[in-house]
Structure 1
Amino acid sequence: MTSVATPAVTPAPGLAGQAPSSLAESITLADIARAHDVRFLLATFVDMTGKPCAKLVPVEAAGELEAGAMGFAGYAAGLIGQKPQDGDLIAVPDLSSFTPVPFIREGLAIIHCDPHVDGKPWPYAPRVILKNALARLADKGMQAKVGAEVEYFLVKKNDDGTLSTADTRDDSPRPCYDARGVTRMYEHLTSISDAMNSLGWGNYANDHEDAAGQFEQNFNYADALTTADRVVSLRYILNILAEQRGMTATFMPKPFTDRTGTGLHFHLSLWSGADALFPAGEGTDDDERGLGLSSLAYSFIGGILDHAPALQAFLAPTVNSYKRSGATTSSSGATWSPRKASFGGNDRTHMIRVPDSKRIELRSGDGSANPYLAIATAITAGLDGVEKSLDPGPPSGPGESKPDAHLLPATLLHAVEALRKDPVILASLSGDPDIGTYYSDAKEEEFLSWHNQVSDWEIRTYLTSI
């Protein structure tokens, strides 16, 4: 729940230790690994749910990985558009994503990969989907920069299967920013901060969030692909370092009924080279709404709002997501989760918050969102608004929304139905509506799988009701 302004200077894209693009052809993955005393590589990609998939590759085989000799059974990997009879997914490493993680294991590094099939990027792979969305943006002479706020809970699983906060003293109904809660988790928080800073991410704040057991650790924004890679890497780092301390780091949107849920907020901006495109130009009539934004920025907002119901299938992609967005209150008194597609100024009740003229904050995503798919679909929606010069109308006031604003979906099934009715977002995955249909069918099946389970609530409510 950061309120820190976007840094004035953009950090260089990519991760610490990356090979400069001008040298990419002459420097091999093995060269980079050995320069960082790396002995093993986690060749990593994610499926559509965001699950990290990897093979542990010794540096001696880095040349085989780089040459495209590392195959995965795609159907076994997860939701990624393959059947058991299909050929291998080949992991093609992106050298600019090289991420040494000696704080996890000495001599270990992560390398993010683009899955290929038959020598071509696999269009169902989330990282490929984002790259395709960014290519379309580049065709318009624009680039996207993105910041991400990664919230999470630190919990322990009890013998009876219930969850409790890892810090048993963290039990206040309103613990946000509590200095004592941060201090008790000092070793964990500082280890994550040190890890991010060792990678050049620029960690600038670590805080206790609104729910007992909930934290957020912020890092500088970068180009869209780099930020998505960093979210995936950070989730992995958080999981492993928490496990080493006997805790579980969870990004589940709503692990506790009575507490605030977990968000994944994105700060989005468009650029043309070194020129920021969201601030209103001096001496223009762009900013008639008073938020300091250009007409392009307002149209980008208009596109996101116009496609908001369908976007939620990617921003809030699980059954549990809608326990968070459907909540009316929490122990702290607020949910921090929008229920309508509205926008306004520095107001966290809206789907889109405009904290300053450089960026917009998309607040309807939650911790289960796949960062590649969430960013790709949001950019597609915003670009559609730019191409159509959509007018989002006047901003809503504090805590208000316009009567005609889209209601956000009430359940995952509602989000799937909205996605199926939205041809722009349905085709936003590598430009192929069949991929959108594949995803929506899988999410409908996920919803029905949950719906078919008899819950404790049903037993309590219906067992003797008649």
Structure 2
Amino acid sequence: MTLEATNTSVLRLPSTNGRSPETTEPPTLTELARATDTRFILAVFTTLSGKPCAKLVPVESADELQSDGVGFAGYAAGAIGQVPKDPDLVALPDLSSFTPIPFIRDGLALVHCDPHVEGKPWPFAPRIILEKALAAAAEKGLTVKVGAEIEYFLVQRDQEGALRTADLLDTSRQPCYDARDVTRMYEHLTSISSAMNTLGWGNYANDHEDGNGQFEQNFRYDEALVTADRVMTLRYLISVLAEQRGMTATFMPKPFADRTGTGMHLHMSLWNGDRAAFPDAGDPRGLGLSDLAYSFIGGILDHACALQGVLAPTVNSYKRTGATATTSGATWSPRHATYGGNDRTHYLRVPDSHRVELRGGDGAANPYLAIAATVAAGLDGIDRHLDPGAPGDGVASDALPMTLLHAMDALAGDPVVTAALDAAGPGVAEYFTSLKREEFFQWHSTVTPWEIDNYLTAF
């Protein structure tokens, strides 16, 4: 992760059509679409589970989309806090997120939306929850910037339906950074890289990760909401472009028991206007951080167990954080709430004085919720002037939750993280933990092949 921020966009906005600079207004959705040869717009919102939902809107109806939004039966969409009798969920577009994606289909674009119900922002909408968290930071004079590392596996199913690596030659014991494995996936990786750079995101690296069939693609950091939108957009792009090549891109945290799991590491920093708030050359602890940065770290560590319920939100997530070994020899997944310098074994890594890297999140994490909850935890640390102790400290009591059920218990008992989820309205945290507990018990009640193998003739 580099430190050069960019707000550059290759998107060419329409001209002012003869209007003077003093009276220039932001372009409308129709103008954005016409200027980019867009014929159809995906109006996208995200559920609490991280599912992207959309309606395809022709450019001829862009004005109506901008003014009135587009309606959805929220219960049918999934985890969005509705029941069948509820009124429509209306998605209103945020024009700043307008993104042409002709590399998916010619003339296609998407725009991220904020769901409303009966004219009011819907409190169960993850994007709105993040907006509330960022507003709380702004009240303290702080801007949150975030970079995200997007990891995933490229897989296929064999004739028996078993999951396998899409590249059948990707079999080495330590495939990480292998130039040959990267080259065989050249067309896929470069199509994603070119898409990001066409959009002005600043893709700066694409690599083979630690597991066979696992890759990571990075883009430069930006303001938190921009990055969260881009994570959702990139997951969509990766999934669709992989599918077009006969592969499945999965962000599942642990698709293979003997391989490294898939993370979504978040690089976070706070800013006062244009000034970075983390660096302090006089830091006696040697990491070059300010007191504010240490308090932010202290807040995240203090709420780490509850945060894991949002950062690692599936049953499968705890196969990743609970792993003790992999074929390559390392899991790269933190098991304790510790922090330190440029050391990837910690929950919070401090690679330099400008940022902290939160390594507890995985590929199933909803980026809006993950960032919102983490910001709330960090701000609580600032409010309470928490001291995280010396770098590298960590004791057995700092162990992260062992299962999704443990994580939900921790989340439900943490007033700061629950308040972050409830920031736009009450009931979200209770709804989320209830869904996740149900998910755990559905899994727990399923008889697995492991049980058959171990118990069928054991007694």
- For this structure pair, what is the TM-score category when the shorter chain's length is used for normalisation? over 0.9
The equivalent residue for 1:459 is 452
Q: CA deviation at 1:461?
A: 1.0
Report the 3-state secondary structure (helix = DSSP H, G, I; strand = E; otherwise coil) of the residue aligned with 1:465. Answer: coil
Give 3-state SS (helix, strand or coil) of 1:347's partner.
Answer: coil
**Match of residue 205 from structure 2:** 205
Residue type matched to 2:288 in 1?
Answer: G
Which runs of 5 or more residues in structure 2 are unaligned?
Answer: 16-21
What letter is aligned with 1:344? G
Aligned residue runs from structure 1 range 25-40, under 5 A: 25-40=25-40
Counterpart code for 1:325: T
1:429 shift after superposition: 1.4
For residue 64 of structure 1, report the CA deviation from its aligned partner: 1.1
**Partners of 1:65 and 1:232 in 2: CA distance:** 21
Residue matched to 2:19: none
- What does 1:134-213 correspond to in 2, within 5 Å? 134-213=134-213
**Which residue of 331, 338, 342 corresponds with 1:342?**
338
The equivalent residue for 2:286 is 290
What SS is found at the alignment partner of 2:229?
helix
Who is 2:279 aligned against?
279
Segments of 5+ residues of structure 1 without an aligned counterpart are none
Counterpart code for 1:237: L
Q: Is it true that 1:228 corresponds to 2:228 in the alignment?
A: yes
Relative to 1, partners in 2 of residues 1:25 and 1:47: Cα closer, same or farther, differing over 3 Å? farther
> Counterpart of 1:409?
401
* Residue pair 1:17, 1:99 contacting (<8 A) in 2 also: no
Alignment match, 1:442: 435
Q: Structure 1, residues 237-258: CA drift from partner, whole Å, max 9, x if none?
A: 0001001100000000000010
For residue 151 of structure 2, give the secondary structure of its aligned residue in structure 1: strand
Alignment match, 1:248: 248
Is the Cα contact below 8 Å between 1:426 and 1:433 reproduced in 2? Answer: no
For the residue of structure 1 that corresponds to 2:265, the secondary structure is strand
CA distance in 2, matches of 1:15, 1:225: 19
Q: Which amino acid aligns with 1:354?
A: V
- Determine the structure 1 residue equivalent to 2:6: 11
Counterpart for residue 298 of structure 2: 302
Which residue of 2 is the match for residue 44 of structure 1?
Answer: 44
Instruction: Name the CA distance, whole Å, in 2 between partners of 1:402 and 1:260.
Output: 23
Deviations 1:269-302 (A, max 9, x none): 000110100001x5x5xx1211000000000000
- Name the TM-score, length of structure 1 as normaliser: 0.94
Q: 1:439 to 1:15 in 2, by over 3 A?
A: farther
Instruction: Provide the identity percentage.
Output: 64
2:413 alignment partner, one of 416, 421, 428: 421
Contact 1:39 1:108 in 2 (8 A): yes
CA drift at 1:427: 1.2
Match of 1:355 among 351, 355, 359: 351
Going from structure 1 to structure 2, the CA distance change for 1:53 and 1:218 (only over 3 Å counts) comes to same
**d(CA) in 1 for partners of 2:50 and 2:191?**
24
- TM-score, normalised to structure 2, is 0.96
Aligned residue pair count:
452
CA contact (8 A) 1:313 1:415 kept: yes
1:372 to 363, 368, 373: 368
* Superposition deviation, residue 317 in structure 1: 0.3
Judging changes above 3 Å, is the alpha-carbon distance between structure 1 residues 99 and 69 closer, same or farther for their aligned structure 2 residues? Answer: closer
Query: Whole-Å Cα distance in 1 between the matches of residues 284 and 236 of structure 2?
Result: 44
Q: Distance in 1 between matches of 2:368 and 2:79?
A: 14
8 Å Cα contact 1:13/1:222 also seen in 2: no
Query: In structure 2, what residue type is equivalent to 1:423?
Result: P
Alignment CA distance shift 1:13-1:422 (3 Å): farther
Q: What SS does the aligned partner of 1:296 have?
A: helix
1:159 is displaced (CA, Å) by 2.7
Per the alignment, in what secondary structure is the counterpart of residue 334 of structure 2?
Answer: coil
3-state SS of paired residue (1:428): helix
CA 1:354–1:25 in structure 2 vs 1: closer, same or farther (change >3 Å)?
same
The yes-or-no answer on 1:214 pairing with 2:207 is no
Q: What CA distance in whole angstroms lies between the structure 2 residues aligned with 1:68 and 1:430? A: 26
For 1:214-263, what per-residue CA distance to the aligned partner results, in whole angstroms no more than 9, with x for missing partners?
00011100000000000000000000100110000000000001000000
Between the aligned partners of 2:144 and 2:247, the Cα distance in structure 1 is: 35
Residue in structure 1 matched with residue 57 of structure 2 by the alignment: 57
1:328 aligns to what?
324
**Counterpart residue type for residue 439 of structure 2:** E
1:392 and 2:385 matched: no
Task: Tell me, in whole angstroms, the C-alpha distance in 1 between the residues paired with 2:397 and 2:119.
Answer: 45
* C-alpha contact 2:306 2:411 (8 A) present in aligned 1: yes
Q: Distance in 1 between matches of 2:145 and 2:452?
A: 49
| Residues 147-169 of structure 1: CA deviation (Å, up to 9, x unaligned) | 00000000002232211111000
Change (3 A) 1:45 1:308: same
